[in-house]
Amino acid sequence: MATLEIRDLHVSVEADNATKEILKGVDLTVKQGETHAIMGPNGSGKSTLAYSLAGHPKYTITSGTVTLDGEDVLEMSVDERARAGLFLAMQYPVEIPGVSVSNFLRTSATAVRGEAPKLRTWVKEVKETMAGLQMDPAFAERNVNEGFSGGEKKRHEILQLELLKPKVAILDETDSGLDVDALRIVSEGVNRVRESGEVGTLLITHYTRILRYIKPDFVHVFANGRIAESGGAELADKLENEGYEAYVKGGAASGANSGGAAA
């Protein structure tokens, strides 16, 4: 069973000629087949966690450990993390001029699978997956994210997720900027991956609306760089009604561990 273990993770960033600590001791375990929702206000450290796990050079790990199936993730390069089974769907996907979606996807699949997929079966696989996301097949010949709308970029992220089949998928505010129809379609794609039972999902979001489509096993509240509280899906309902104010002010059980999710 694939397992991502985060222990006492501290992360800093350089800002205004000073070092600022963003994550202040995060403990979390994500197992294969589980879905964890990370919720919290702006500036609480949610996206910092996502990009630190992916290896973004802007963020400095000052202490703590991250392992995937016992292997030290922090010692891996960005591409090694991807090949090991970590996947990040970005909040703001970047454009890659001059690289077509079809070439990008096949190159990525080759790197992850260790060999190039057979062209005939690969084309069919891509077309079927695009159809499930209601993507025009013509998008395969366009440059990656170039001229794509926000919703199209997010569908392309989930297209990658479905085709690459990682061990752990980190979805950073995948619901951001999506209208109701796009949110439903993207969520259906995520759920198809989840139904395999082979992927652990870390879903980062501000709002509960995506959780109406993607039901989490665990919900964690981020505040002040830590997990302030953990619980089941009912915790999201509490946040919908009460917001994050109590956590930001320290009124909740700040510093609580990741509850039933932690080993």
Residue 139 DSSP one-character state = G
Global pTM reads: 0.90
Backbone phi and psi for residue 245, each to the nearest 5 degrees, phi listed first: -55, -40
Q: How many CB atoms lie within 10 A of CB 171?
A: 28
Q: Write down the pLDDT at residue 2.
A: 87
Residue 262 corresponds to which tokens in the numbers above? 């932690």
State how far the Cα of 216 lies from the Cα of 221, in Å rounded to an integer: 13
For residues 230 and 218, the answer to whether their CB atoms sit within 8 Å is yes
Q: 3-47+54-261 has which CATH code? A: 3.40.50.300
Phi, psi of 209 (to 5 degrees): -65, -35
Residues 189-216 have a mean pLDDT of 93
80 pLDDT band, cuts 50/70/90, is: very high
> Domains of the chain: which residue ranges?
3-47+54-261
Condensed to tens digits (0 to 9), the pLDDT of residues 219-263 reads: 999 999 999 999 999 999 999 899 898 888 764 444 444 444 443
Segment 128-135 mean pLDDT:
95
Which runs of consecutive H residues, i.e. helices, occur in the chain? 46-54, 78-84, 101-113, 119-132, 150-164, 180-195, 234-242, 245-248
Could you read off the pLDDT of 81-129 as tens digits, one per residue?
999 999 999 888 889 999 999 999 999 999 999 899 999 899 999 999 9
For the cut 50, the answer to whether the pLDDT of residue 205 exceeds it is yes
